[in-house]
Amino acid sequence: MTQQTRFARSVTHLALACCALALGVSPLFVEAAHADESSIVSQIKPDAALSALVPPAYRQRQPITVAVNPEIAPVKFIDDDGEIAGFAPDLLSAAAKELGLQIRFVQASFDSLIPGLGANRFDVLLSLGDFPSRHGKVTFVDYLNVGQTIVASPSRKLVIKSLDDLCGLQIAFSRGTAPIEQANKVSSKCVANGKKPITIATYPDTNMTLLSLTNDASQAVWVDSPAANYNVKKFPDKYQAVFFYYNSSYGIGFGTDDNGKRLAGAVQQALLKLKKDGVYDQLMQKWGMPVKDGRPTFPIDDPQYE
């Protein structure tokens, strides 16, 4: 089965999941199958020196729980077999192999990730934007540069040259995401300049946010660039990118206590080895990730664009 076919079918799975959420018939936190192990990942063997870096607390409670909101193809999504798949699951699975760690992926809504980590329901978060405002709750190992994209229906012929052009628009966001704060700042500036404020609407996830364009519930949506790029390419009759800016890195999230920081350091070293061995580049190519968006040094708590 081709990768494009797997992506296309994932959209159907996401749409069905979104409908269930909207109707209140499914919990926001559900067990998920383990990420599909690619042939690239399956060839990796544990490294004794790297394994020794894993804190005993995690070694003793294996498998460690990795929470993911799988709604951003090709970074993280549900494939046609109902498995969590994508660049980020493959990358973390590869790092876990290097460390000799067993991991268990579970699905969770985006707005439950950080609270779940703080409540010790999750050991690792895969993945979310590295912002300074989150550093008190999450330790990030950054692995990919990402931005934000404003998306609109092509029929609207919306022209956006800067965020200041968003005044007066009704814009949709995924619930709990960082751009909402940015939009509120822009909206306040609009009002101060005698213009209409931005009307903000939130939805459970990225897919529902994008779908708000198709029924005219919103005039534009503000989403992570990987999700925007995928949907604009796949559905050009429905979605058009009208503005883009870099704003953060995607990071794998860990706790901020000593054990969490030590595990973050161990994963960082495993990722560096994966880069040295060519695995990182192979996975970037496999999932169609632009080379310019890579962060092959895997810094800790380094948003870069903030």
Say if residue 127 is preceded by a cis peptide, omega within 30 of 0: yes
Predicted pLDDT of residue 38: 75
Predicted pLDDT of residue 259: 97
Q: Could you tell me the two tokens for 272?
A: 């560096």
Residue (of 204, 240, 246) closest to 225 by Cα position: 246
Predicted pLDDT of residue 133: 92
Predicted pLDDT of residue 28: 38
Distance between CA atoms of residues 217 and 230, nearest Å:
21
Q: Could you tell me the two tokens for 184?
A: 């509120």
In whole angstroms, how large is the CA radius of gyration of the chain? Answer: 19
Q: Are 203 and 21 in contact (CB under 8 A)?
A: no
Predicted pLDDT of residue 149: 96
Residue (of 13, 71, 29) closest to 205 by Cα position: 71
Buried b (16+ CB within 10 A) or exposed e, 157-194: ebebeebebbbebebbbbebbbbeebbeebbebbeeee
What is the residue-level pLDDT of the chain in tens, covering all 306 positions? 444 444 444 444 444 344 433 333 333 334 444 455 678 999 999 999 999 999 999 999 999 999 999 989 899 999 989 999 999 999 999 999 999 999 999 999 999 999 999 999 999 999 899 999 999 999 999 999 998 999 999 999 999 999 999 999 999 999 988 899 999 999 999 999 999 999 999 999 898 999 999 999 999 999 999 989 989 999 999 999 999 999 889 999 999 999 999 999 999 999 999 999 999 999 999 998 989 999 999 999 998 765
Predicted pLDDT of residue 27: 33
Q: Are 193 and 10 in contact (CB under 8 A)?
A: no
Q: Which residues contact residue 63 at a Cβ distance below 8 angstroms, ignoring those fewer than 6 apart?
A: 101, 102, 103, 104
Which homologous superfamily is 148-247 in? Periplasmic binding protein-like II (3.40.190.10)
Domains 3-146+249-293 and 148-247 share a fold: yes
Predicted pLDDT of residue 202: 96
Q: Are 269 and 67 in contact (CB under 8 A)?
A: no
Domain residues of the chain, as ranges?
3-146+249-293, 148-247
Distance between CA atoms of residues 292 and 294, nearest Å:
6
Q: Could you tell me the two tokens for 255?
A: 């706790």
Predicted pLDDT of residue 248: 87
Which homologous superfamily is 3-146+249-293 in? Periplasmic binding protein-like II (3.40.190.10)
H-type alpha helices, the chain:
3-23, 39-42, 48-51, 56-60, 87-99, 113-118, 179-192, 206-214, 225-234, 258-276, 279-286
Predicted pLDDT of residue 304: 78
